[in-house]
Chain A
C-alpha cells in the first residue's frame, strides 16, 4: 500500500501544521504503514471516537466508546474493514424469521406470484393501477412482502450487526447503484441484487462491484438494458415474437453519469450511444421463471465502437461491455467522482477538495480498492477537523438506527419493520427511491418541516415504548426521574445520547422541562417524565446531526 495520501498533504503548505500535529499525536506509529501517518492514532480523545463512530457506524451504542478506546482506533477500523472476522450470528439468527430473505430468485417468483394475466392487461391499458392490482392478491404471498422484509432486514442489520461499516457501505453502494423495487420485476430481483451484487463487494474492488451490478437482472431490468438490441433486431421467440427491437440508451447514460464518470465527467451523447451499442445483448434469461444474466449474440451490435476515444474493434461480442467497464473504471473522472461521493458520505456535504484529491489518488493507485479509500478518509486530518464534526445531518435511516442504538435497543423483525416504516415517513422509503440517482446525501434533502415533525413523532413513539418487539435499555441507562435530584436523569440522558456534546440553549430548555410534570399523565410519574426527556433529547436539533 502506498503512502501517497500523506505525501500529498505535506506538499500543501496550509495543511502542514495539521499534519505535523497529527504525526506528533500519532507518536509511536507502529506497524500499520498506511493508516497511521496522518491521524491522531491511538491518542484519539473520546469526543473524536464518538465522531468516528457516528460516521463509520449507524451510531454508537453506550458501551462502544469505551470498547474502541480500549482496543485502539486502528484495531477497530481494521476489524470493521474485514468484517468476516466478526461474529454476527445473533443478527443472522434474528433474520431467519424473514422467510423471503435467502430464497433464490426462481423460488421467489414461484411462491410470490404476479397478478394473473387478465389483471395485468388491465394495468397495461390503465384500467387499474399497479398498486390496486397488487392489493387484490392474497396478503401472505404478495410480492410486496419481499420488499417489506428487505426493509426490516436492512433496519435490523443497521441496529444489531457487529459489522457496522459493512452495513454502512452496503447502504452507500446500493444507493450509488440504485434500483427501484417498485419497477416491474425489480420487486423480485432486489433482494438477490443486494445479496449477490452489492454486499460481497461493498468493501472490495470498485470494478468488481460495477461489473456485478452491470450483470445483475435487477440492474438490467431497472435501466432497461435487457431489452436493448442492435437496430432492427427481430425478436425470435416468446410473446413479442416477430416484433422489431433496437437500442435503448437508459443504462448507458446512467452508467456514465451516476455509476462512474459523473455528469461532468467528459462524455458526449455519441459516447452514450456507443456504450449502449456495446451493452446490447446483455440481457436476462427467463426473466419470470429463473432469471439469470445471459449474453445473446443475436441481439448484440457487433460493429466497431469508439468510447471516450478508445476503439473497441468489431466482433467483440460479450467482451464489449467488459471493455467499456475497464475504460470507465480507469478514467480519472471515475476516481474523482467516487472519491467525492465517499467523502460526502463520511466527511461533509461539500467535502474538502484536498481530501477528495487524496481519496481519488488512492482509487487510482490501488485500482479502486474500497478499503484503501476508506482508510484514507478515516485517517485524514480533515475527517477529525473540529468544524466538520456535526456537519452532516443524519438521513432518516441513520436517525432511526442511531436512536435505537443510543438507547442500547434491540429489535426483532417485527419492530424492525415498523421502524423502517418510520424511516419512510421521514421521507426515505427504503428500496423505493424511484430515480437512478438514489436518495440524496445532502442536508437540504432531509431538513424540512415534514421530516422534522416525523422525527419528533418518532422520538416520542420510541421512548414511550410504542414499538412492540423493541427492547430498550433506558431503565438501565437512565433510571426514572428522582424528584429529589431531577437533574441527574437529564444528565444521564445527555451523557448517553449526546455524549454531553450539547449547546447551552438545549441544556437550558431541557432543564426547564425536568421540572414540568403533567397532571394528565396516568402512568407512574417518574419513568413517564424520563421517557419524555429522552424523546426531547432524541428529537433535539443536536441529535439530528452526526
Chain B
C-alpha cells in the first residue's frame, strides 16, 4: 500500500490534472497539510482609530482630548454606550455583535500595538506590516507567505488564499498563494466550448520558465500564476465549493468585506487545504466627521463586527481550529483634529478571536495618554511590537517554532503576551 503522504505529494496533482479529483482526496489534502489550523488575517486599511474601537475609558485623557468624537463610557443597560470589557477598556457600541465572544473568552484585544517604525505613511506602514519587516523596504515577500514556507509542504493550491483581485503583500512568497475575487467568478464561464479552456490551460502550463527574453532569470510570474490558477480551478470545482451555503443561519453583511468573510468560510468548509486566508476592509481613514457612538466609524465597525460574528456562527465547531486576527497600519491621533476627525497616529488595537485564544482579556501594557506619555507628543505609544503578537500566533496556532524565518532581523526579545494557549 502506498503511504498516504506519498500519494498526496505525487499522486494528488496527477489526479487533479486528469480532472477527476475524488472527493476523499480533496478532503485528505486538507487534512494532510499540517494540522488543519487556519489563520484568517483581516487588514483594516486606512488606519483604524484604536482608541474608539477599544476605548480606554479608564484613562481620563482620552475623552478630554476628544470633544465631539469621544465614545461615552459604559453604563449598565445603555446600549448606546461603550461595552465594558474589564473596568478600564470598553468595546465601541457598534462592536456589540462581538460581545458574546468576549464573554465566552474566545475574543482577546491587544492594545497599544503597532510598528516600531515611525512612519505615518499609509503605504509604507501597510507595506511594513505585511512584509513583517518594519523599516526594511527590500523584503521581497510577506510574513504570511514566509509562514507557509516554514510549514510542512502541502499540495493544495489553496494553502494561502486572499479574497480580492490581487495577492496582498502579506501573502507574497506563499507556496500556493492565490487571489480570487469570488468563488462564483473563479471560472471560465465564457468559454464557448471546452477547447478554449483547455487551450488556455495548456498555454499557461506549457512552460512556466520560458519567455521571449533572451535569458530568463526567474520563472515568468504570469505563466506560473496561470498554471496555479488552473490547478485551483479544478480543485474548487471538484469540491463543489460554490454550493456550500452558510451554516447555523449565519447572515453576512452584503458589503464586500462581509462577502469576503462568507467566502473564506466556504473555502474552509470545503476542506481544500486552506491554511491562511486574507481579507481586507477599507474606509478607516477618518480625517473628517469620524463620529462617536454613531457615524462614519461606527458604521464601519458595525460592518466589521457583523461579518466576524457571522463568520464564527457559520463555522461553528470548526472555529476551534481557526484564529482571526485584525490589524491596521497605525492608529490615529489622540486629539481630535479641526474637522471632527483624527489624523495619522501611531499605536492602535488589534483583535484576536477563535480557538486557542485566551480571550476575555486585553493584552499589552497601557502607556497612558497623558501628554508626556504620548509618542512624539501626540499619539498613543506602541508598547507591543506587532511582531510579538503575530509571532505568538504563528508559533502557537500554525506550529512554527522558528519565528526568525517569518520575522527576519527581529530578535523576538521581551515576554510573550500569552494571548494564545
Interface string of B292-303 (1 = CB under 8 A from A): 001110110010
| Known A126-B94, A532-B193: A539·B165 in contact at CB below 8 Å | no
Min Cβ gap B294→A in Å is 4
Contact assessment for B188 and A250 in the assembled complex, using a CB-CB cutoff below 8 Å: no
Q: Report chain A residues within 8 Å CB of B223.
A: 541
Distance in angstroms between the alpha carbons of A425 and B185 in the assembled complex:
10
Name the prevailing secondary structure of the B interface residues.
loop
Distance in angstroms between the alpha carbons of A426 and B164 in the assembled complex:
10
Within 8 Å of chain A (Cβ to Cβ): is B356? no
| Known A456-B188, A461-B190, A541-B204: A248·B211 in contact at CB below 8 Å | no
Q: Report chain A residues within 8 Å CB of B178.
A: 448-449
B-side interface residues, number (CB < 8 Å): 73
Min Cβ gap A184→B in Å is 9
Out of A263, A393, A443, A513, which one reaches B119, CB within 8 Å?
A263
Binds B, one of A38-46, A90-98, A209-217, A239-247: A239-247
Classify chain A's interface size: 35 or more
Q: Report chain B residues within 8 Å CB of A233.
A: 338
Q: Report chain A residues within 8 Å CB of B222.
A: 393, 443, 447, 452, 541, 544-545
Contact assessment for A506 and B190 in the assembled complex, using a CB-CB cutoff below 8 Å: no
Within 8 Å of chain B (Cβ to Cβ): is A329? no
Q: Report chain B residues within 8 Å CB of A513.
A: 195, 199, 202
Within 8 Å of chain B (Cβ to Cβ): is A484? no
> In this complex, which of B166, B194, B291, B296 has the most chain A Cβ atoms within 10 angstroms of its Cβ?
B166
Min Cβ gap B377→A in Å is 10
Out of A449, A528, A539, which one reaches B186, CB within 8 Å?
A449
Within 8 Å of chain B (Cβ to Cβ): is A470? no
Out of A124, A449, A539, which one reaches B180, CB within 8 Å?
A449
Distance in angstroms between the alpha carbons of A233 and B338 in the assembled complex:
8
Q: Report chain B residues within 8 Å CB of A453.
A: 185-188, 229, 233
Out of A129, A506, A520, which one reaches B299, CB within 8 Å?
A129
Contact assessment for B228 and A449 in the assembled complex, using a CB-CB cutoff below 8 Å: yes
Out of B190, B226, B283, which one reaches A452, CB within 8 Å?
B226
Within 8 Å of chain B (Cβ to Cβ): is A505? yes
Distance in angstroms between the alpha carbons of A450 and B167 in the assembled complex:
9
Contact assessment for A129 and B255 in the assembled complex, using a CB-CB cutoff below 8 Å: yes
Contact assessment for B203 and A263 in the assembled complex, using a CB-CB cutoff below 8 Å: no
| Known A506-B206, A536-B199, A541-B220: A269·B120 in contact at CB below 8 Å | yes
Q: Report chain A residues within 8 Å CB of B262.
A: none
Distance in angstroms between the alpha carbons of A253 and B199 in the assembled complex:
49
* Beta-carbon contacts under 8 Å, B215-257 to A: 220-223, 225-226, 228-229, 232-233, 255
Q: Report chain B residues within 8 Å CB of A263.
A: 119, 121, 123-124
Distance in angstroms between the alpha carbons of A434 and B285 in the assembled complex:
10
> In this complex, which of B200, B294, B299 has the most chain A Cβ atoms within 10 angstroms of its Cβ?
B200
Within 8 Å of chain A (Cβ to Cβ): is B387? no
Distance in angstroms between the alpha carbons of A258 and B122 in the assembled complex:
11
Contact assessment for A450 and B203 in the assembled complex, using a CB-CB cutoff below 8 Å: no
Contact assessment for B190 and A460 in the assembled complex, using a CB-CB cutoff below 8 Å: yes
Q: Closest chain B residue to A424 by CB distance?
A: B165
* Beta-carbon contacts under 8 Å, A253-270 to B: 253, 257-258, 263, 269
Contact assessment for A532 and B196 in the assembled complex, using a CB-CB cutoff below 8 Å: yes
Binds A, one of B264-272, B339-347, B361-369: B339-347
Contact assessment for A257 and B193 in the assembled complex, using a CB-CB cutoff below 8 Å: no
Distance in angstroms between the alpha carbons of A447 and B218 in the assembled complex:
15
Within 8 Å of chain A (Cβ to Cβ): is B287? yes
Binds B, one of A224-232, A290-298, A360-368: A224-232
Contact assessment for B376 and A269 in the assembled complex, using a CB-CB cutoff below 8 Å: yes
Contact assessment for A536 and B338 in the assembled complex, using a CB-CB cutoff below 8 Å: no
Min Cβ gap A526→B in Å is 14
Within 8 Å of chain A (Cβ to Cβ): is B6? no
Within 8 Å of chain A (Cβ to Cβ): is B59? no
Within 8 Å of chain A (Cβ to Cβ): is B3? no
Q: Report chain B residues within 8 Å CB of A258.
A: 123
Contact assessment for A246 and B200 in the assembled complex, using a CB-CB cutoff below 8 Å: no
Contact assessment for B192 and A464 in the assembled complex, using a CB-CB cutoff below 8 Å: yes
Min Cβ gap B228→A in Å is 6
Distance in angstroms between the alpha carbons of A516 and B223 in the assembled complex:
23
Q: B residues engaging A (CB < 8 A)?
A: 45-46, 67, 94, 119-124, 164-167, 172, 178-181, 185-196, 199-200, 202-204, 206-207, 210-214, 220-223, 225-226, 228-229, 232-233, 255, 282-283, 287-289, 291, 294-296, 298-299, 302, 337-339, 341, 343-344, 376
Could you show 20 A-B contacts with beta carbons less than 8 Å apart?
A124-B296, A125-B294, A126-B294, A129-B255, A228-B338, A257-B123, A263-B124, A425-B181, A435-B123, A444-B172, A450-B181, A453-B188, A454-B181, A457-B190, A505-B206, A509-B202, A509-B203, A521-B193, A528-B192, A544-B222
Ranked nearest first, the 6 interchain pairs of A and B with the lowest CB-CB distance are: A246-B338, A427-B165, A126-B299, A505-B206, A448-B179, A518-B193
Q: A539-B200, A540-B203 are in contact. List 11 more A-B contacts (CB 8 A).
A: A244-B67, A246-B339, A263-B123, A269-B120, A387-B214, A435-B122, A453-B233, A508-B206, A509-B203, A518-B193, A545-B222
